Amino acid sequence: MREWSFKRNDHIPPIGRKVRNNMTNQQEDGIWLHCSNSAVRRASRRLGQLYGHVMGDSDLKSTQFSLMSQIARSGEPTLKNLAEAMVMDLSALGHTLKPLIRDGMVELVPDERDRRVKRVRLTEAGTAKQQELLTLWRDAQSRFDQAFGKEKSAELRKALALISSAEFAEAFTKS
Amino acid sequence: MREWSFKRNDHIPPIGRKVRNNMTNQQEDGIWLHCSNSAVRRASRRLGQLYGHVMGDSDLKSTQFSLMSQIARSGEPTLKNLAEAMVMDLSALGHTLKPLIRDGMVELVPDERDRRVKRVRLTEAGTAKQQELLTLWRDAQSRFDQAFGKEKSAELRKALALISSAEFAEAFTKS
DNA sequence: TTTATTTACTGGTATATACCACAAAATATG
DNA sequence: CATATTTTGTGGTATATACCAGTAAATAAA
């Protein structure tokens, strides 16, 4: 057996200070308690895993389900608008759509008035699949609400929507 | 000019209901207001971009900076422990480390007592680089605190740490 | 109307991240 | 001790995502 040092969260060492920390448990101090970016990414990994497991062996990843749900919700958005809504780089969106297009879940249709523009649309199969997975998604979301608190859950989403907004980006950048 | 429908957030349509929404602005209703997973991912994309721009042309991505900061903070964690701390899949961590190892920022050292185990360590160059970027990180983090509120910022990180915890995963899964 | 600029998308390249199957070492079991 | 099981990593494959450098269409400017 190795000699373990014990948790001591009383004096929080500054970022990047070496502590020779061999602790196994999760409660230890970490960068995510100091860096909002790290904190959000870390949580997104956890939720990706959690929601993903609920989605299970369905053909779609939780990210794909999100994207398709947003497409359905938007009607028939242009790539540009969809990218903005998802806070995603336009080219990243293009790449992300490829597997969905390949699998016949989504199709791109040229806009009639502006030949530069392409609109994103769920195929019939895509719509059906999205509807089908709604049940699983609801299970995941209700588990989340249960574990985190329905109230706090809604508040959190609102806070995150604020952070994701263009106005926030503006404020962050200009200051 | 196209005919635009106008924003109406008064009646929030359920997920996956088609609305034929051509709105350009960000305030529109979206999946992220209903799905915590989507909300967190979306925010993580935004923050990735924002922090990333502050990091600018430095050799490290903001994700790499986070990871290196956690390594520094942990002392000399095993791959397993680091993966757990980061809430990252072990193999994903391995892959993520490759560019850092290639660039001489990080090295893997075999554990002396358990030949299965490898420990992660910042090289001298890595430590220096991490220290150097601390300034940029501090700028980004203080911009965030400014824009979101220092209080709320700390609360948010705590909430996200809870969501990222093993206990939360437990609660989510068992329920 | 010709030219310059902006807009919307595509493709390349690199990192981020997950899951699965496999290998090797350590540990538990009979 | 010999075998079964668990633990820790590695490599493959696929999606997620960013940034940059084009390209073509639309629009603004001269």
Using CB atoms, which residue from A32, A47, A147 is nearest to B40? A47
Rg over alpha carbons for chain B, rounded to the nearest Å, is 21
Show the CA angle centred on residue A64, arms to residues A58 and A68, nearest 5°.
105
pLDDT tens per residue across span A53-72 = 999 888 899 999 999 999 99
Q: What percent of chain A has pLDDT over 90?
A: 79
**CB atoms near residue A135 (< 10 Å):** 8
Q: What is the DSSP string of B110-169?
A: E-SS-TT-EEEEE-HHHHHHHHHHHHHHHHHHHHHHHHH-HHHHHHHHHHHHHHHSHHHH
Least confident of A69-78, B3-12, B43-52, B158-167: B3-12
The percent of residues above 70 in pLDDT, for chain A, comes to 84
User: Residue written as tokens 């061999």?
Assistant: A22
Round to a whole number and report the distance in Å from the CA of A140 to the C1' of D26.
45
In tens, the pLDDT along A79-96 reads: 999 999 999 999 999 999
* Residue B100, pLDDT above cutoff 90: yes
Facing residues of A118 across strands?
Answer: A110
Could you say which of A42, A62, A163 has the minimum Cβ distance to residue B87?
A42
**Å between CA of B6 and C1' of C2:** 38
Residue from A51, A16, A17 nearest A147 by CA: A51
Residue A25 scores a pLDDT above 80: no
Model confidence at B117: pLDDT above 60 = yes
Q: What was the pLDDT predicted at A2?
A: 29
Structural domains present in chain B: 31-174 (1.10.10.10)
- Contact in structure between A108 and A30 (CB atoms under 8 Å): no
Q: Do A162 and B144 touch (CB under 8 A)?
A: no
Q: Which nucleotides of C are covered by protein (CB under 7 A)?
A: 7-21, 24-27
Q: Which of A24-28, A95-99, B84-88 is the least confident region?
A: A24-28
| The predicted structure's pLDDT at residue A34 | 97
Q: B54 pLDDT exceeds 50?
A: yes
What residues of chain A lie within 8 A of the CB of B22, using their CB? 75-77, 81
Smallest CA–CA distance from B31 into chain A, residue: A70
CB of A141 lies under 7 Å from some atom of strand D: no
Q: Residue A59 has what pLDDT?
A: 86
Strand D nucleotides where any atom sits below 7 Å of a protein CB: 7-21, 24-27
Compute the distance between CA of residue A141 and CA of residue A134 in angstroms, rounded to an integer.
10
In this prediction, residue A28 carries a pLDDT of 65
Kindly tell me if the per-residue pLDDT of B9 is higher than 60. no
Pairing of strands A106-110, A118-122: antiparallel
Q: Residue B78 gets which letter from DSSP?
A: B
- Measuring CA to CA, which residue among A45, A34, A53, A40 is closest to residue B88? A45
Write the pLDDT tens digit of every residue in A123-168.
Answer: 999 999 999 999 999 999 999 999 999 999 999 999 999 999 999 9
**A3 CB closer than 7 A to any strand D atom:** no
Q: Is the CB of B94 under 7 A from strand D?
A: yes
Q: Do A43 and B163 touch (CB under 8 A)?
A: yes
CB-based contact B32 A156, cutoff 8 Å: no
The SS3 of residue B74 is helix
Q: Which residues contact B28 (CB under 8 A, 6 or more apart)?
A: A74, A85, B7, B9, B21
Q: What is the mean predicted confidence (pLDDT) over B140-164?
A: 97
pLDDT for B29:
84
Report the C-alpha gap between A166 and A163 in whole angstroms: 8
Q: Which residues of B touch A134 (CB under 8 A)?
A: 15-16
Residues of B in contact with A159 (CB under 8 A): 152, 156
Nearby residues of A87 by Cβ (< 8 Å), 6 or more positions away:
A164, B42, B43, B45, B46, B49
Strand-pair category, B118-122 with A106-110: unpaired
Return the minimum-mean-pLDDT range out of A6-10, A24-28, A34-38, B141-145: A6-10
B81-93: burial string, b at 16+ Cβ within 10 Å, e else? bbbbbbbbeeeeb
Residue B23 has pLDDT above 50, yes or no: no
